[in-house]
A = this chain, B = another copy of it.
Amino acid sequence: MGEKVSIGEASRRCGVKVPTIRYYEQIGLLPAPPRTEANRRTFDPGYLRRLAFIRHARELGFEIDAIRTLLTLQDDPHQPCATADAIARARFAEVEQRIDSLNALKAELGVMIESCRHGKVGDCRVIEVLADHSQCTRPHH
């Protein structure tokens, strides 16, 4: 079944851009794949799985370094998964925090936009609120 594919095909299948794949190889997140006689990279199914793993983890906002750790964990299935769990939990906390602060932001922006009466800049609440932090409803930041 699984045969070797070109970098373009790997890109299409995994949803990772060609230069990004090369970049991952360059920084050592992925090993250098074997080449054809014409010096082109060839990707086997295992490699594609790793690539898809990375893509998914990146979408979930994990940093490259965290992914590096997760990948090495994945390679040794007998290790306890406490590390993987900790990484996921840390990311969860980050995301929660980020949501909170974005919600505060959204409220702030909402007030700004609401109270803009679309006149001249001189009376614009958007500009005014930006100019004066003390007008913020909450000390969100």
**A residues 82-102 in Cβ contact with B at 8 Å:** 82, 84-85, 87-89, 91-92, 95-96, 98-99, 102
Of A17-25, A36-44, A68-76, which binds chain B? Answer: A68-76
Cβ of A80 under 8 Å from chain B: yes
Cβ of A126: which chain B residues have Cβ within 8 Å of it?
70, 81, 84-85, 87-88
Bound-complex Cα distance A109 to B109 (A): 28
- A121 contacts B73, CB within 8 Å? yes
Are B131 and A53 in contact, with the CB atoms below 8 A?
yes
Q: Cα distance A99–B126 when bound, in Å?
A: 22
Q: How far is the CB of A23 from chain B (nearest CB, A)?
A: 20
- Contact present for A109 and B92 (CB under 8 Å): yes
Q: Contact partner of A92 among B59, B92, B110, B122, CB < 8 A?
A: B110
**B113→A70 contact, CB < 8 A:** no
A112 close to chain B: CB less than 8 A: yes
Is the C-beta of A56 less than 8 angstroms from some C-beta in chain B? yes
Query: In the complex the two chains form, is A118's CB within 8 Å of B82's CB?
Result: yes
Q: A60-B109, A81-B119, A81-B127 are in contact. List 16 more A-B contacts (CB 8 A).
A: A52-B133, A53-B130, A56-B130, A57-B130, A59-B141, A60-B105, A60-B130, A70-B127, A77-B122, A80-B120, A81-B121, A84-B126, A88-B126, A92-B106, A95-B105, A99-B106
